[in-house]
Structure 1
Amino acid sequence: MQQSMGRTGSCCDNAAAESFFGLFKAEIGTRVWDSRAAARADVFRFIEVEYIRTRLRRHPEFGYLTPLETRVLLQCDLTPAA
């Protein structure tokens, strides 16, 4: 097996994952759920609804679009020419 993350204690090795989990921890916090199903539903809601569909990429290079809008635009640009 091979390690998929960077060195221990080095957030620069995996900045994208560190950024996501930092935001995730800030939004979800130290909440305690009644069941595993409730926890899974809350995490799914955060990722699919709040993070992917509504969070803006706060940079002019991305046009202040959500990740979902960015993906749709990229798919349109990758259509093969006839």
Structure 2
Amino acid sequence: EQAGDGNNAINYFEKTLQLDPWLVDPYQHLARLYTANAQLALAHETYIRFLKAFPESIEAKRDVFRGSGHSTPNKK
């Protein structure tokens, strides 16, 4: 049943982004759901879509970096 809930959530966030691609939260939730479901290619694709929609967003860049399996670099 949890897998069904995850798929419903994925469908919900994908539809939300189709209606309004300028929302930040759906990209993050969607990428995290894909990661939790071991769908890493789809998670990466979602992070890239997020970055393309918000190229100046430090949050988007951080999420893409974390999604690639790297740790966050230390700030100086």
Answer whether TM exceeds 0.5 for this pair: no
Q: TM-score normalised to the size of structure 2?
A: 0.28
Which of these two proteins has the greater Rg computed from alpha carbons? 1
Higher helix proportion: 2
Q: TM-score normalised to the size of structure 1?
A: 0.27
Q: Which has the higher contact order (CA 8 A, sep 6+)?
A: 2
